[in-house]
């Protein structure tokens, strides 16, 4: 192994965040070790939903984007089809092992700031906490991976949520898929 000084020489000239991330990986911390809420960009769900695939068919799959937005919960998690989602996750740049090891079989219904209702995928690890902490009609902040733009709206996977303002999220047990992109 390198020792402390070897590691310091190796990361010299690299930004502080990159150095810390590299050090965490060398120490054995995986993508789920620390959820980076700061990497999620503020977004408008209604604006995301306006983007449609060409000709209105299929879906556009860009590189995965980390988004954060406020919504009102309409319905708790219920099972939904996720086969296309898993395909789109791989195509958007999320690592194969993260796609395979992150159970996603549920969706929630949310209402945007303009009152439009959308289905959103949610990691199975979050469904129990969501049911305990958030009642339908309550406002919450979602931290998600925008995977595709479809004719019925954006394909977003909820990686975490917060019932507090966006400046003080509570940790849950979801996987930070933003940290699991293939290199």
Going from N- to C-terminal start, the domains of the chain cover 1-30, 36-180
Number of helices and strands in the chain (H, E) = 6, 7
**What is the domain class of 36-180 according to CATH?**
mainly beta
Q: pLDDT tens-digit profile of 78-127?
A: 999 999 999 999 999 999 999 999 999 999 999 999 999 999 999 999 99
The answer to whether the CB of 51 falls within 8 A of the CB of 61 is no
Q: pLDDT tens-digit profile of 129-161?
A: 999 999 999 999 999 999 999 988 899 999 999
Name the pTM for this structure: 0.75
């Amino acid at each position: 192994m390198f020792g402390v000084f070897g590691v310091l020489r190796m990361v010299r000239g690299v930004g502080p965040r990159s150095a810390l991330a590299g050090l965490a990986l060398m120490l054995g911390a995986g993508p789920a070790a620390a959820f980076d809420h700061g990497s999620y960009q503020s977004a408008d769900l209604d604006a995301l939903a306006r983007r449609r695939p060409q000709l209105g068919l299929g879906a556009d799959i860009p590189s995965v984007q980390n988004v954060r937005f406020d919504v009102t919960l309409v319905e708790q998690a219920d099972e939904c089809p996720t086969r296309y989602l898993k395909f789109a996750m791989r195509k958007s740049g999320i690592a194969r092992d993260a796609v395979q090891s992150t159970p996603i079989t549920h969706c929630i219904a949310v209402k945007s700031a303009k009152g439009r209702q959308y289905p959103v995928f949610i990691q199975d690890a979050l469904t129990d906490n969501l049911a305990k902490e958030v009642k339908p009609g309550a406002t919450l902040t979602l931290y998600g991976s925008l995977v595709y733009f479809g004719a019925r709206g954006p394909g977003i996977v909820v990686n975490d949520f917060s019932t507090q303002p966006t400046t003080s999220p509570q940790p849950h047990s979801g996987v930070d898929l933003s940290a699991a992109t293939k290199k």
